[in-house]
Structure 1
């Protein structure tokens, strides 16, 4: 069974969010002019840098998940896509789309991830902990 990101942890911070595609090109040297490129493979992971701000309990939840559930980052896991999951579905006018009961319809999206090359790092911010990490989102 694939471990799932703990629901008790907060959404990643917006100000540290960075995403880029994995390099999928192979450089070709040329005799003159700029280098050329060709595709190395057709399917690439998205590399995402994230951080979360947690209290002492949240740090323990993250540490337990990283250490035991994903074996210090060696196993894949499912994580809600923080740019989509839980956000309201909007009309073309930007208004939330509602059910017949007046409740907003929420989007759902999940990622299959692996922790990135660097192990998570943490910094103390007042009485909280900022845990920074990267994930590779599988295609």
Structure 2
């Protein structure tokens, strides 16, 4: 069974967001000239570092999800893509597309994730908690 990211948790912060693709290249060193590259594997994961700001209740939900539900980061889970899920679908002019009753059409995208190399790190900001961690988005 694949778990679902808790809906009670907020979207990740924008200023700590970092994403890159796994390097799928195999470097070939030639006798002369620049190096060459070939594909090392066909499926490429996305590596994402992010953080969330949590109140005390949300911190408990996050901790329970990571520690108990995900076995301290050993289980896969579904997570809404913070760069797509819930954002308005726009025309080429940047105007939101609307339903018949005037509501914006929202995009939807769900990731299949594994916990990354950076397990959650916690810092305190006033009365809130910042959890910083990484995930591997499966291809």
Shorter chain as denominator, the TM-score bin is: over 0.9
> Residue 109 in 1 paired to residue 112 in 2?
no
Return the alpha-carbon distance in structure 2 between the equivalents of residues 128 and 57 of structure 1.
10
Q: CA deviation at 1:58?
A: 0.9
**Aligned counterpart, 2:121:** 121
Q: CA deviation at 1:82?
A: 0.3
**Aligned counterpart, 2:36:** 36
Q: CA deviation at 1:32?
A: 2.5
Q: CA deviation at 1:29?
A: 2.4
1:71-116: per-residue Cα shift (whole Å, max 9, x none)?
Answer: 1111110000000000111122211111111111111100000010
> Residue 137 in 1 paired to residue 137 in 2?
yes
TM-score (norm 1): 0.95
**Aligned counterpart, 2:67:** 67
- Give secondary structure in 2 for the equivalent of 1:96: coil
1:32-72: per-residue Cα shift (whole Å, max 9, x none)?
Answer: 33332211011100000110000111111100000111111
Return the alpha-carbon distance in structure 2 between the equivalents of residues 84 and 66 of structure 1.
23
Return the alpha-carbon distance in structure 2 between the equivalents of residues 93 and 21 of structure 1.
30
**Aligned counterpart, 1:26:** 26
Return the alpha-carbon distance in structure 1 between the equivalents of residues 95 and 29 of structure 2.
52
Aligned length: 139
**Aligned counterpart, 1:80:** 80
TM-score (norm 2): 0.95
Query: Runs of 5+ in structure 1 lacking a partner?
Result: none
Return the alpha-carbon distance in structure 2 between the equivalents of residues 33 and 58 of structure 1.
55
Runs of 4+ in structure 1 over 4 Å off: none
The farther-off stretch of 99-108 and 22-31 is 22-31
